[in-house]
Structure 1
Amino acid sequence: MRELKVVIADDHPVVVLGLREMIQRDEYFSLVGEALSSSQLVEQLQLHQPELLITDFNMPGDETYGDGLQLIEYIIEHFPGVKILVLTVMSNHLIISRLLELGVAGVIAKSHIREEIGKALSALANDRDYTAPAAPAISVVTNPKVIDERFSTLSPREVEVLRLFVAGNSVGDIARQLNRSVKTVSTQKVAAMQKLEVLNDHALLTYCIKADPFE
């Protein structure tokens, strides 16, 4: 079996290091490129034409390529020969379903990357897609009064950003829709997370879905 060329993309050095070590130990894969942003990622794909891409879902984007679903859709359209394994901190079933509909080879929760990446690489080396086990739901505050109090502290712009985020839009998508800069939207999202006392995107999505504050 010939080696499959691999490009990895993530803006977290620790994740990149772990992926690099895993791939370099696997005789079926050859690491040919790494990227820390969507622009770098597209450059690496153009340069190396790999068979496999392992990428974070939320990459630092730009106006050309964006991140999230926009970036994945661009890659599928312009690099149809590459298999895509998506890493994500989110468990939003709408987003995961959309990724699979687009044709990605698999989706892995970052919280399970150590346990699942080896299984995914094995499946892909044998020309099979990879189906990861469902991630357990993260518990959220269930007291309606506490939830209402927390959401009442959000500004209208923060609520608007959260509504679009929970609907499956990336920060880049939201910035374009609201005609704001990516930095502004990211700041508003982080501020909302701090007010709601959630630590990551997965918890934020779970919290908002359970609370259903946008009805």
Structure 2
Amino acid sequence: MEAVRVVLADDHPIVLAGVREVIERDARFVVVGEARNSSELVQLCTDVRPDIVITDYNMPGDRAYGDGIKLIDYLRRHFPDTRILILTMLSNNLILSSLYDLGVSGVILKNGDLNEILVALAALSQGRTYRGPGMQSGSSVATNRDDIGARIASLSVKEFEVLRHFVSGMTVGEIAEHLKRSVKTVSAQKIAAMRKLDVDSDQALLLFCIKANLFQ
């Protein structure tokens, strides 16, 4: 049987080496390329048309492809036969669950056991979606809306994306250009996120995200 062809994408060489080492233990899979940014990943997908892409969610992008939602959307539209497995440090279960709505086939947490990758690859290669032990149903989110975790969980995936870029230092205008949304839309999503997190200023928003380790 022909091995399942996998492309890896992460901006940390140590992560790439670790994931490759795990995959190479199983003859069912073969790594056919590695990328350290979005442009390299898209070029690899164009050149080798892998069966599965394993990519970090937060990864240095560019104006053409970005990362996060923008990159996932591009990959889904241009490489519909390639299944996407997200490897991430994000810990918000509702946001992680929302990634499945964007079309990803599996999510694995970086702080878990990397051997889980083989289990996920087996599921994806059989046409199944993978939800590992690190993933919880959105219905399990705490109902106490005053709790920090519950407030974070109330964010939509698009609001979360806007916050991620805002915390990285981008202005609303720059985020709008990067995500190909209008300034009005991004501003409204940022305001909605601030309301859900119960903060009333940019400084308070930044402080909340830092204390909550929202984008570690």
Taking structure 2 as the reference length, the TM-score comes to: 0.67
| Cα 1:165/1:201, change in 2 over 3 Å | farther
Structure 2 equivalent of residue 208 of structure 1: none
| Cα 1:99/1:112, change in 2 over 3 Å | same
Q: Which amino acid aligns with 1:43?
A: Q
| Cα 1:52/1:70, change in 2 over 3 Å | same
1:178 aligns with 2:172: yes
Contact 2:209 2:215 in 1 (8 A): no
Structure 2 equivalent of residue 160 of structure 1: none
| Cα 1:132/1:193, change in 2 over 3 Å | farther
Structure 1 stretches of 4+ moved >3 Å: 163-166, 170-177, 192-200
Q: Which amino acid aligns with 1:54?
A: I
Structure 1 equivalent of residue 116 of structure 2: 116
Q: Which amino acid aligns with 1:89?
A: M
CA distance in 2 between partners of 1:164 and 1:60 (Å): 22
Structure 1 equivalent of residue 183 of structure 2: none
1:32-67 deviation digits (Å, cap 9, x = unpaired): 110000111101100110000000001101111111
Deviation at 1:80, TM superposition (A): 0.1
| Cα 1:113/1:69, change in 2 over 3 Å | farther
Which structure is higher in helix share? 1
Q: Which amino acid aligns with 1:179?
A: G
Aligned alpha-carbon RMSD (Å): 3.5
Q: Equivalent pairs: percent with the same residue? A: 41
Contact 1:70 1:173 in 2 (8 A): no
| Cα 1:115/1:3, change in 2 over 3 Å | closer
Q: Which amino acid aligns with 1:169?
A: E
1:9 aligns with 2:23: no
Pick from 198, 201, 213: which aligns with 2:215? 201
Q: Which amino acid aligns with 1:2?
A: E
Structure 2 equivalent of residue 52 of structure 1: 52
Say how many residue pairs are matched: 174
| Cα 1:201/1:30, change in 2 over 3 Å | same
Contact 2:98 2:157 in 1 (8 A): no
1:31 aligns with 2:31: yes
Aligned to 2:101, the other structure's residue is in SS state: helix
1:11-39 deviation digits (Å, cap 9, x = unpaired): 01111001111222211112111000011
| Cα 1:197/1:121, change in 2 over 3 Å | same
Deviation at 1:105, TM superposition (A): 1.1
Contact 1:66 1:172 in 2 (8 A): no
Contact 1:62 1:172 in 2 (8 A): no
Structure 1 equivalent of residue 64 of structure 2: 64
